[in-house]
């Protein structure tokens, strides 16, 4: 929800102004991220491909966030 409806610059603005909405939107984003991460991990374990998943996970994040 957060990434689809708010720009990174607006989220940064909210954070710099110490707006409570910043905390709410970051929490929504983080909860969604970790729910999806756990879902992907469960699927990888069920499909017996956890080790390749971990390698792909770290390789995809090696360059940092856009």
Per-residue model confidence as pLDDT tens digits over 26-55: 999 999 999 999 999 999 999 999 999 999
Q: How does DSSP classify residue 62?
A: T
Say whether pLDDT at 3 is over 90: no
Q: Would 18 be classed as within a structural domain?
A: yes
Higher model confidence: residue 64 or residue 37? 37
pLDDT at 65: 65
Q: Would 8 be classed as within a structural domain?
A: yes
- Domain count for the chain, please give it: 1
62 C-beta neighbours (distance < 10 Å), count: 6
Domain that holds residue 18: 2-61
Q: Is 11 strand, coil or helix?
A: helix
What CA–CA distances, in Å, run from 22 to 9, 19, 35?
A: 11, 6, 20
Q: Token match 């995809």: residue?
A: 60
Q: Would 66 be classed as within a structural domain?
A: no
């Amino acid at each position: 929800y957060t990434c689809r409806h708010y720009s990174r610059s607006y989220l940064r603005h909210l954070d710099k102004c110490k707006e409570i909405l910043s905390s709410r939107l970051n929490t929504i984003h983080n909860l969604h991220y970790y729910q999806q991460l756990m879902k992907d991990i469960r699927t990888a374990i069920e499909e017996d491909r956890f080790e390749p998943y971990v390698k792909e996970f770290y390789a995809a994040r090696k360059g940092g966030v856009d």
